[in-house]
Structure 1
Amino acid sequence: MQGISGHELSSKKAEYLKFIHMQGDVVKTTEIAVRFSVAPSTVTKALTEIAKAGYIEHTPYHGVRLTPAGTDYARFLLRRHRIVALVLSRYGLEPDEACREAERIEQCFSKDLTNRICSSLGHPMMSGCGEIEHDHCCCPSCGRQG
């Protein structure tokens, strides 16, 4: 995961990448279009750009799957989202509200800032959005690995 700053993709493309990761295997363009309420042509254009960045393999009329780099990046994006949501929940937001608000602002958080927040929170294992994975870049001192 070296070289990831946290700003490689636009927020919409990052949301697509997280969705693909959470689905687990090959995801069809129409599934993404339905989930995000956009036209399949809009999704196809974004997926082509994500594929050019090396995060997915896109086979037209079949679907997409993450590359190893895409898996690493999607795991980071989910971790960042869950850490931001956890911080927001500590300021009184309900879990679903914290999750929605995190989606609006998480793109502003770099990998370094995410790791610093994670460390300052004691490397939390859960947020209202789900389990928080840790990797050796974030947690070298505690040895937790995602």
Structure 2
Amino acid sequence: MKAEAALTETETKYLMLIYRKQVEGSSDVSTTSIAKIFKVRPATVTEVLRNLSKKRLLVHRPYRGVELTEEGKREARKLLRKHRILEVLFADLLKYDPKSACKEASKLDYHASMELINTICRTYGHPTSCPCKKTIFTDVRCKREG
């Protein structure tokens, strides 16, 4: 499945948040916690989680939380890569502090093409971490020079 093309901007934000919490933060993710973070009703969260479940990106167990599938983890890593590469650009070129770079990257990451992201990645010598010290995942389509 070419999930990236099929995902809404909201769905990408949920996937990235769940990955950050569950995989990078080793914590459970509940509908209530997502609702608090995004300042929406739990019913709204449940609807988005259902859609992501239909796309086989996560398993949603009502009243027990969510768990990303392997495909969901792969998709989240692609999305986080875009976000973190943009953070590198904003911090280096525009001298944004890490928090501001993250905030601005969040506004644009969904819209940035992989071609743009890979060009930025090559320009910066294939960075391995963003200004927040989080891992920047590799992409086989981003040809490494050297």
Correspondence for 1:93 among 93, 96, 112 = 96
**When you count helix as a share of all residues, which structure comes out higher?**
2
Q: Name which structure has the greater RCO, CA cutoff 8 Å, separation 6+.
A: 1
Cα deviation 1:44-91 (Å, max 9, x = unaligned): 011111111221111222111111110000011111101011111121
CA RMSD of aligned residues (A): 2.0
In structure 2, stretches of 5+ residues that fail to align are none
CA shift, 1:111, in A, is 2.3
Q: How does 1:59-138 map to 2 (within 5 A)?
A: 59-89=61-91, 90-129=93-132, 130-138=134-142
| TM-score normalized with structure 2 length | 0.84
Unaligned runs of 5+ in 1: none
The question of 1:9 aligning with 2:7 is answered yes
Which amino acid is the alignment partner of residue 128 of structure 1?
Answer: P
Distance in 1, matches of 2:112 and 2:65, equals 30
Q: Distance in 1 between matches of 2:22 and 2:143?
A: 25
For residues 16 and 104 of structure 1, the distance between their equivalents in structure 2, rounded to whole angstroms, comes to 14
TM-score in terms of structure 1 length: 0.84
Cα pair 2:82 2:109 within 8 Å, conserved:
yes
